[in-house]
Amino acid sequence: MHDPRFDDLAKQLVRYSISLKKGESVLIDLYDIPDGMGLALVREVRSRGGIPLLKLNHSQLSREMLKGATDEQYALLAKHQLAEMKNVDAYIAIRGSHNIAETSDVPAAKMQLAMKHLRPVLDHRVKKTKWVVLRWPTPAMAQQASMSTEAFEDFYFKVCLLDYKSLLPSMRALKRLMDKTSEVHIKGPGTDLRFSIKDIPAIVCGGEYNIPDGEVFTAPVKNSVEGLISYNAPSIYQGIAFDGVRLEFEKGKIVKAEAAGGKTKALNKVLDSDPGARYIGEFAIGFNREIREPMRDILFDEKIAGSFHFTPGQAYENADNGNRSQVHWDLVNIQRKDYGGGEIWFDGKLVRKNGVFAAKSLSKLNP
C-alpha cells in the first residue's frame, strides 16, 4: 500500500527544497529506502517537467568497497562521480541505515583515503548544484531514538514536513544579528567558550539543503577560539559511537580532547586526521521545535531545539574561516533546562538562555 506521506515529502523536496524548474535534471541518490519513495520522487520530478536520474546504493556493499579501498579505485570512482555530478542541475539524496554501525570496522585509514578522493565530488555538489539531503526512518533509527518504529515514522514525517517557510523571517533576523556580531561567549555546565565571528557571514538553513532543518550557521575566526566545551549530546562518527566529548582550545586549536567510555584514543585519532581537524569550521545555532532528543543522527541532532553545534574540521565556503580538513564533525550541545541549561552572549548581550531566545523577533525559533 502506497503511503501518501511519500508524495507529500516528494513535493516538499522537489518544489520547495530544490525549487525544480522545467527542463532541469535531478540525480536521485537513494540508500536502502523503500521503492515507493523512489517512485514518488521520480513521478514528482516528471510532473514538474524535470529529468530524473536514479542511483541506488546499499550500505553493506558500500562497506565492502571501503574495507578494500585503494587510491586507484577511489580516484577512478571519484572521477566518474564528479562527471556525473557536473551533468546535473540538482541532487536529492535519501539515506536509510539498517545498521548505524555498518562501517565501524572499516579501518580509519581507508575511510580517510576514500574521503580524500571524494571531497571534490562533495564540493562540486555543494557549490554548483541545487541539493537536499535527508535520512530515511528505519527500525534502527527508531531504536536509536528509543521509540517504536511506528511512532518514529510519525515523528519523522512531522519533522520533515514542517512549514519551514513560516520560520524564515525569524531565521533572517537571527542571521542579521550574527552578521553584526564580533565576539561570542557561550557558558554552561563544563563549557566556557569565547571566540570571534567578525566579518564571517551567517547562513540561514530553512529546509533548502537538509531535511529536517532549522539552524543558522557561521564559523569562528580560525585562531580566535579559547576555553573549553563539554558536549552533552551523543554522537557517531565513522561508525563509532562517542559520548561525553570534551575539548579544550588555545588560539583556535584543540589542545586537549577527551571522550567517555574509553574512546579518548579514537577521538584523538579523528582529530589527527589532518592539521585542520583540530580547528573549528562551523558554529551553528539549532532550533527545530519538533526535535528535542538526540539520536546519534546528525541531520536530526544538529537541529535540536535549544542547541548549538561547534564543529571540528572543514569550513563551508559560504561561511569561510579558511579551515580545510577531510573532517567535518558536528558535535552538539543542548542548552535547554532539562539538559543543564546554558547561555549564548553576543558582544556582551544575552541572546539565548536555557535554549530560549530573548528577542521578540526570534520568538518563533523558541522550543
Residue 243 pLDDT > 90: yes
How far is it, in rounded angstroms, from Cα 232 to Cα 341?
11
Tally of CB atoms within 10 A around 256: 12
Sign of CA dihedral 207, 213, 219, 220: positive
Arithmetic mean of pLDDT, 121-126: 91
- Cβ proximity of 130 and 259 under 8 Å: no
pLDDT tens sequence across 28-66: 999 999 999 999 999 999 999 999 999 999 999 999 999
Beta strands, E only, 44-170 = 51-57, 90-95, 130-135
Q: What is the predicted pLDDT for the residue at 124? A: 93
pLDDT tens sequence across 255-293: 999 999 999 999 999 999 999 999 999 999 999 999 999
Which residues, at least 6 apart from 208, have a Cβ–Cβ distance to it below 8 Å?
16, 17, 18, 132, 164
pLDDT tens sequence across 129-185: 999 999 899 898 888 788 999 999 999 999 999 888 899 999 999 999 999 999 999
Whole-prediction pTM: 0.79
All domains in the chain, ordered by first residue: 4-160 (3.40.1830.10), 164-365 (no CATH)
DSSP codes, 239-268: TEEE-S-EEEEETTEEEEEE-TTTTHHHHH
The β-bridge relationship of strands 343-346 and 332-334 is unpaired
Place of cell 541505515: 97
How far is it, in rounded angstroms, from Cα 300 to Cα 212?
6
What's the grid cell of residue 86? 557536473
- Picking from 286, 291, 34, the residue whose alpha carbon sits closest to that of residue 145 is 291
